[in-house]
Structure 1
């Protein structure tokens, strides 16, 4: 997640955690499996890959502990990944979370996410939004105009996923539906209060879940299987 006051690292014998003001944990990484998507909603967000299984360019707003950035860098080798993070202190801690250094495929920029997005029209096959500050989702990342910019930043068949936590979920979903002409699904995260919104351009025609998983590297399949199946079930319900 993004932004906050006094970003710092807390270590336990099992985890490395990114915390902000008030000792609220924003990101948790397993010390034994640092490349794994440890928190459930991050896996659910990447269920969006079922709708666009081979993204060539990925945009991420909110670096946080870099779980999804690391996953995409490791398991989607054909993708270029651009990350916007507005807190320089968070970026300075990237080594603590084993986030790779910038290279030909990965670029992390310290920039306001809303302004950054407006400069990337039609760029992304996959857009991931997981940006928070001490007050929750920043106002600039909550407006109708912002969600219009999200849709404009996607390619003709692009897909986005957004983490909705501690916020007015219905208001965000209403704006997303206006921006994406109703092409939005909501997934409740089991045993968590997070909701994940997935929205898309065009007319995706996703194949069978098992086939989509088989096209991914072995290390990604087990992490995304449950999310793919839940998204597929929601897709089928919406189609009735």
Structure 2
């Protein structure tokens, strides 16, 4: 089964407390935009996903699976000025909302591709330094985006020192299964932590078999990067070191 076969088309826009949100239902927020600062990251899980900077501080190409309200593509586009940002999104109705979320027009550095991400990546069409998996529907994480085979194709699409970043639900009963799959595919080069202000779990998998974490050096790197990025990267380092569980 491909991702397209699991897709539904119920979308809702809401505006509340200075944020415009994209929802699949009345209970959960898929994406949110701060109306006073549209390029900021309004949700804790998206802030935590930017922890890939600790592994790849200066990527040349970031590939994002799942557009939503465009928070991650917009942030990467603005705050990584030397980086190309490509986003895969299967749902034309989501793409049609790009103006609602002030998502830039396509240009030489920013592209939204309407496609099935499973087909796109497994067919070898992707090459990137960072791949961010953040594709959900109202049923949760599509199973086809969490198979060991798909993770392996993502690994093959990464550069030699590339990083795969995945947003997972902390309450998913298969969470440990997904993490074990990633450990097998990436030869144990996998770190994960609780996202800020949520029960999401963010997983980072490095394609560099020689990458070793020095927590002191990583804190210094995080401190330096915070002068360029509006993300608590030092907090992410502490969460990664603590692992799970971690208080909100």
- Normalising by structure 1, report the TM-score: 0.88
- Aligned-residue offset at 1:98: 1.1
**RCO comparison, higher one (Cα < 8 Å, 6+):** 1
Alignment of 1:178 onto 2:178 = no
| Residues 82 and 108 in structure 1, CA contact (< 8 A), matched pair in contact too | yes
Q: What is the alpha-carbon distance in structure 2 between the residues aligned to residue 163 and residue 47 of structure 1?
A: 12
**In 1, distance between residues paired with 2:122 and 2:226?**
31
The answer to whether the aligner puts 1:194 opposite 2:200 as a matched pair is yes
Contact 1:44 1:189 in 2 (8 A): yes
What do you get for the CA RMSD once the two structures are aligned? Answer: 2.3
- Summarize the alignment of residues 104-183 of structure 1 with structure 2, pairs less than 5 Å apart: 104-120=108-124, 123-165=127-169, 166-167=171-172, 168-183=174-189
TM-score normalised by length of structure 2: 0.85
User: CA separation in 2, counterparts of 1:119 and 1:56?
Assistant: 22
2:56 aligned residue (52, 55, 61):
52
Gaps of 5+ in 2: 244-248
Change (3 A) 1:170 1:208: closer
Q: How does 1:70-85 map to 2 (within 5 A)?
A: 70-85=74-89
Shift, 1:211, TM fit: 3.6
- What is aligned with 2:104? 100
Query: How much does 1:225 deviate?
Result: 3.9
Q: Deviations over 1:134-184 (max 9, x none)?
A: 111112102111111111111111011100015221111011111111111
Going from structure 1 to structure 2, the CA distance change for 1:65 and 1:4 (only over 3 Å counts) comes to farther
The corresponding residue for 2:219 is: 209
- Choose from 17, 22, 26 the match for 2:21: 17
**Structure 1 segments unaligned to the other structure (5+ residues):** 236-240
More helix by share: 1
Aligned residue number for residue 31 of structure 2: 27
Q: CA deviation at 1:49?
A: 1.0
Secondary structure, in 3 states, of the residue corresponding to 1:146? helix
Q: Which residue of 1 aligns with 2:246?
A: none
Contact 2:133 2:166 in 1 (8 A): yes
Instruction: From the superposition, tell whether residues 49 and 119 of structure 1 become closer, same or farther in structure 2 (CA, over 3 Å).
Output: farther
